[in-house]
Amino acid sequence: MNKSELKDLMVKITVNRDEIAFSNLFDFLAPKIKAYYLQNGLISENAEELTQEVMSIIWSKSDKFNPSKSALTTWVYTIARNKKIDFLRKNSKIKYNDDDIREFLYEKNETDKIEENEIENRVSKINSQLDINQQKIIKMNFFENKSHKKIAEELEIPLGTVKSRIRHILIKMQKIV
Amino acid sequence: MNGTIVKNQLIFDFASGSLGQSKSIFTSTYLLLNSSASKIHNTFESMLGDNLFDNKDAEISNIKYTDCISSEQVPSTKIDNSISPLTKLVGPLEKINWKQIYKGFSEFKLNIEDDDELKLIKMDPGASVPLHSHGGKEYILVLSGSFCDEYGNYKKGDIQINDQKIKHTPVASDTDGCVCLAITEKEVIFFGRFGSFLNLFTFIKSFFK
């Protein structure tokens, strides 16, 4: 499903409360959200529980999504991530509601208006400046939550090389963003 | 230590939701005060979002879309945009009940259950901290006023990250002094004339924790 198809579905969901559109979105998104939770070390049962919560929020709070502030991908991601934080902290005494800070930041965002496509441009710029190996490492380290040691094992390179490559990538990113 | 990398790492960890509560509050305040950090954060979130949508599908076994429509939802609470998260937690900075550590230097510890200690630091105009280094990492975010040390000048919205290798003597601005939000991962080690006394003090203090 491409971005404009997703956008159409969101409009149908928000404006018409279209359940068929939502079921299409569910079929596309739920397996990806579940995969995200599995990557973060949750067992399948919990991953599905949280996926259901995320999809429920997408349905019930669809009017909160503001396309001029963020891409749909980012909005969905932030909901999924916040649920992960809630879940992981459930057992610690929560004195501070993380969801509040993050929603606050989201709503406050307009203070430094982000030019449309500016972020997209930056992301593709970062990707274009990193070679395949660097992209692989950053994907493993940051997105798949693999430890430096695990990356070294999988790519069969020394641990020191992994560390220095990550350093290098982070410096590059700072220059670009 | 390359501060840039640590800053990016902190922002990335916030975006990916892997920070403890102290660092989470610290970083959100940083993002509110510093627009370039906030842009980096938006970029990271967007990358993480694209990545989620690129995920290989996991098989769904027990949930259906109808479960998500039928479940009753509590109406969402309205977020008050006029008060920052930190202010919500500690109240206005002017009304904080500071505890003086030594002349010109006060602290206020936030009561957060976390391995990292989060506190507010106030330095009076012109006050300085004796030369010291750090057992673990220390993160300092300037909330008002400014300070300088051997490495540079830090104003509102700037952060400084110090580790074991750094020894420095921060001095607060002569005119406004300085209020900072700070995270210390481990006890600070002091050097110099007042240093030994302060070391002993922090040492003794640790017995009564």
Angle subtended at Cα A65 by Cα A63 and Cα A68, rounded to the nearest 5 degrees: 120
| Cβ-based contacts of B63 with chain A (< 8 Å) | 30, 48, 51-52, 55
Given an 8 Å threshold on Cβ–Cβ distance, is B5 in contact with A167?
A: yes
Lowest mean pLDDT among A40-44, A60-64, B108-112, B187-191: B187-191
Rg (CA), chain B: 21
Which phi and psi angles does A38 have, rounded to 5°?
-65, -40
Which range, of B13-27, B133-147, B158-172, B178-192, averages the lowest pLDDT? B178-192
Asked if residue B22 has pLDDT above 70, the reply is yes
| DSSP letter string, chain A | --HHHHHHHHHHHHHH--HHHHHHHHHHHHHHHHHHHHHTT--HHHHHHHHHHHHHHHHHTGGG--TTTS-HHHHHHHHHHHHHHHHHHTTS---S-HHHHHHHHHHHGGGGPPPTTHHHHHHHHHHHHS-HHHHHHHIIIIIS---HHHHHHHHT--HHHHHHHHHHHHHHHHHH-
Q: How many CB pairs under 8 A join A and B?
A: 180
* A55 contacts B58? CB cut-off 8 A: no
Inter-chain touch B31–A105, beta carbons under 8 Å: yes
Q: Does any CB of chain A come closer than 8 Å to the CB of residue B45?
A: yes
Report how far apart the first and last C-alpha atoms of chain A are (Å, whole number). 28
CA atoms of B143 and A89, how far apart (whole Å): 28
> For the whole model, what pTM was predicted?
0.75
pLDDT tens column, A95-148: 445 555 566 566 655 434 445 456 666 666 666 667 777 777 776 766 666 778
With both helix axes pointing from N to C terminus, report the angle between A72-89 and B35-54 in degrees, rounded to the nearest 10: 90
- Distance to chain A for B108, nearest Cα, Å: 17
Backbone angles phi, psi at A91, to 5 degrees: -85, -15
Q: What is the arithmetic mean of pLDDT over B137-146?
A: 92
Report residue A35's pLDDT band, with 50, 70 and 90 as the boundaries.
very high
Are residues B188 and B36 in contact, defined by beta-carbon separation less than 8 angstroms?
A: no
End-to-end CA distance of chain B: 31
Give buried/exposed letters for B110-141 (b at 16+ CB in 10 A, else e). Answer: bebebebebbbbbbeeebebbbbbbeebbbbb
Range name among A29-33, A95-99, B49-53, B59-63 with the lowest pLDDT average: A95-99
Shortest distance, CA B22 to any CA of chain A (angstroms): 10
Number of folded domains that form chain B: 1
Query: What is the Cα–Cα distance from A156 to B141, expressed in whole angstroms?
Result: 40
| Residue A106 vs residues A63, A66, A75, B76, B108: alpha-carbon distances, Å | 14, 10, 9, 15, 28
Contact predicate B39/A113, CB 8 Å: no
Q: List B residues 109-168 in contact with A (Cβ-Cβ < 8 A).
A: 111-113
Chain mean pLDDT for chain A? 79
The confidence score (pLDDT) of residue B55 equals 83
Rounded CA-CA distance B89/B112 in Å is 10
Which residue among A92, A143, A170 sits closest to B51, beta carbon to beta carbon?
A: A143
The residue in chain A having the minimum alpha-carbon distance to the alpha carbon of residue B51 is A143
pLDDT at B71: 53
| The pair of three-digit structure tokens given for residue B108, joined into one six-digit string | 């206020």
- List the CATH number of the domain containing B108: 2.60.120.10
Domain assignment present for residue B72? The answer is no
CATH node for A118-176:
1.10.10.10
Token pair belonging to B162: 């110090």
Most confident of A84-98, B93-107, B175-189: B93-107
User: Domain-by-domain residue ranges, chain A?
Assistant: 3-112, 118-176
Residue of A7, A142, A144, A164 to mutate, interface with B, max B Cβ within 10 Å: A142
Distance from B140 to chain A by nearest Cα, in Å?
Answer: 19
| Among A72, A67, A70, A76, CA closest to A36 | A76
B:52-71 residues touching chain A, CB 8 A cutoff: 52-53, 55-65, 67-69, 71
The answer to whether position B103 is within a domain reads: yes
pLDDT of residue A18: 93
Are the Cβ atoms of B46 and A123 closer than 8 angstroms?
A: yes
Distance from the A77 Cα atom to the nearest Cα atom in chain B, whole angstroms: 5
Report yes or no on B140 lying in a domain: yes
Which class is A3-112 in CATH? mainly alpha
CA-based nearest residue to B142, from B173, B115, B168: B173
**How many CA atoms does the CB half-sphere of B55 hold within 13 Å?**
24
User: Would you state the structure tokens that stand for residue B169, as one six-digit string?
Assistant: 């003597």
Q: Which residues contact A127 (CB under 8 A, 6 or more apart)?
A: A135
Task: Locate A85 and state its tokens.
Answer: 């934080």
**Cβ(A6)–Cβ(A67) below 8 Å:** no
- Residue B112 with chain A: CB contacts under 8 Å: 95-96
Question: Which has the higher per-residue pLDDT, A116 or B86?
Answer: B86
Looking at residue B179, what is its pLDDT?
95
Structural domain including B126 reads: 89-207
